[in-house]
């Protein structure tokens, strides 16, 4: 097991170290000015020195991202279940949801700011909207794609609609829900950056803009590293959750010989 993990980890680890080394060497050999491209060592030193500032901003962003994710996932699940149980509502509403999903975030963000001010509310709404869609749509697909023979079994023994939802459709849609969550996680961080860029007084996106305006390119790079790390960490958590939830392997299909219906 440990050996296996190592085998998977070392190639990207080596290429990463090589990349950083090349970057560092280029900076010192070609004497590149730090305001054009700071060296990794300079960025590291800066990150260490400015830790209290960026960690406070990162924490604010993390709170925003997690709240938005939670709201988005909750509404996503609720909407998926409602649309699944009510096919008429589904056919009436889904074109709107899909159309709405194509409203550019560039328009949506400023509009929300106009309607709700510069506080937390518009940012939270924006994040919720962005996270909601991938969750709702993958979950809806999962709810509709259950094994026909399991459904047939439940119907034959007289299960209610609620039994079928609880004992078949919801558990079967969990893997779909988690892949939706993985997409939502990646969207959420970049959307938070956009929201903080529009107007904020805290957050790592806000920190980045301030540093840009002050031509502190080393700090900008530091902020980028923080943001990428945050995004990867959240994705890693979602992937871990996926493994915990989908502990049962999918069944291999047995050949179906015999009677026609």
Partner 1 sequence: MSKLELRNISKSYVRDKKTFSVLDDITISVGEGEFVTLIGPSGSGKSTMFRLIGGVETPDRGQVLIGGRDVTGVRGLISYMPQQASLFPWMTVRDNIVSALEIAGAARGEARASAEDWLRRIELDSVAGEYPHVLSGGMQQRISFLRALLMPRDVMCLDEPFAALDALTRTEMQRWLLKLWEDQRRSVLFVTHSIEEALTLSDRIYVLSPAPARVLREITVPFERPRRADVWTLPAFTALKRDILALLGEGDGDSDAI
What is the SS3 assignment for the chain?
CHHHHHHHHHHHHHHHHHHHHHHHHHHHHCCCCCCCCCCHHHHHHHHHHCHHHHHHHHHHHHHHHHHHHHHHHHHHHHHHHHHHHCHHHHHHHHHHHHHHHCCCHHHHHHHHHHHHCCCHHHHHHHHHHHHHHHHHHHHHHHHHCCCHHHHHHHHHCCCCHHHHHHHHHHHHHHHHHHHHHHHHHHHHHHHHHHHHHHCCCCCHHHHHHHHHHCCCHHHHHHHHHHHHHHHHHHHHHHHHHHHHHCCCCCCCCCCCCCCCC
CB of 242: closest distance to partner 1 in angstroms?
A: 14
Looking at the Cβ atoms of 95 and 258, the one nearer to partner 1 is 258
Closest contact distance (angstroms) between CB of 83 and partner 1 is 23
Report the C-alpha gap between 210 and 4 in whole angstroms: 44
C-beta closer to partner 1: residue 213 or 256: 256
* Contact between residue 184 and residue 127 where contact means Cβ atoms under 8 Å apart: no
Residue 185: CA atoms inside 13 Å, Cβ hemisphere, count? 21
Q: Could you tell me the smallest distance in angstroms from the CB atom of residue 75 to partner 1? A: 25
CB of 145 to partner 1, least distance (A): 14
- Please state the closest distance from residue 86 (CB atom) to partner 1, in A: 22
Cβ closer to partner 1: 61 or 173?
Answer: 173
Least separation in angstroms between CB 173 and partner 1: 11
Closest separation between CB of residue 147 and partner 1, Å?
A: 8
Query: Which of 150, 209 has the CB closer to partner 1?
Result: 150
* Residue with smaller CB distance to partner 1, 52 or 255: 255
What does the binding site for partner 1 look like in residue numbers (CB under 8 A)? 149-150, 152-159, 163, 167-168, 171-172, 174, 247-252, 254-261
- Give whichever of 19 and 153 is closer to partner 1, judged by the CB atom: 153
Distance CA 209, CA 49 (A): 19
Residue 33 or 147 with smaller CB distance to partner 1: 147
């Amino acid at each position: 097991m440990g050996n296996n993990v190592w085998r998977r980890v070392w190639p990207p680890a080596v290429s990463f170290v090589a990349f950083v080394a090349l970057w560092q060497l280029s900076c010192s050999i070609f004497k590149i000015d730090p305001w054009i491209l700071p060296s990794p060592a300079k960025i590291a030193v800066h990150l260490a020195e400015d830790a209290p500032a960026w960690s406070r901003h990162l924490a604010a962003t993390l709170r925003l991202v997690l709240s938005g994710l939670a709201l988005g996932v909750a509404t996503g699940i609720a909407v998926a279940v409602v649309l699944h149980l009510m096919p008429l509502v589904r056919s009436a509403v889904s074109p709107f949801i899909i159309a709405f999903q194509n409203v550019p975030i560039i328009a949506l963000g400023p509009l929300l700011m106009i309607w709700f001010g510069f506080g937390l509310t518009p940012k939270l709404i924006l994040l919720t909207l962005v996270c909601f869609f991938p969750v709702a749509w993958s979950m809806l697909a999962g709810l509709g794609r259950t094994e026909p023979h399991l459904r047939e079994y439940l119907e034959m023994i007289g299960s209610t609609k609620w039994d079928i939802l609880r004992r078949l459709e919801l558990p079967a849609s969990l893997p779909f829900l988690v892949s939706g969550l993985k997409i939502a996680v990646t969207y959420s961080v970049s959307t938070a950056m956009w929201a903080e860029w529009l107007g904020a007084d805290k957050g790592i996106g806000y920190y980045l803009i301030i540093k840009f305006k002050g031509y502190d390119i080393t700090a900008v790079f530091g902020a980028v590293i923080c943001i990428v790390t945050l995004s990867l960490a959240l994705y890693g958590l979602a992937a871990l959750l996926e493994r915990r939830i989908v502990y049962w392997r999918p069944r291999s299909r047995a050949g179906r010989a015999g009677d026609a219906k």
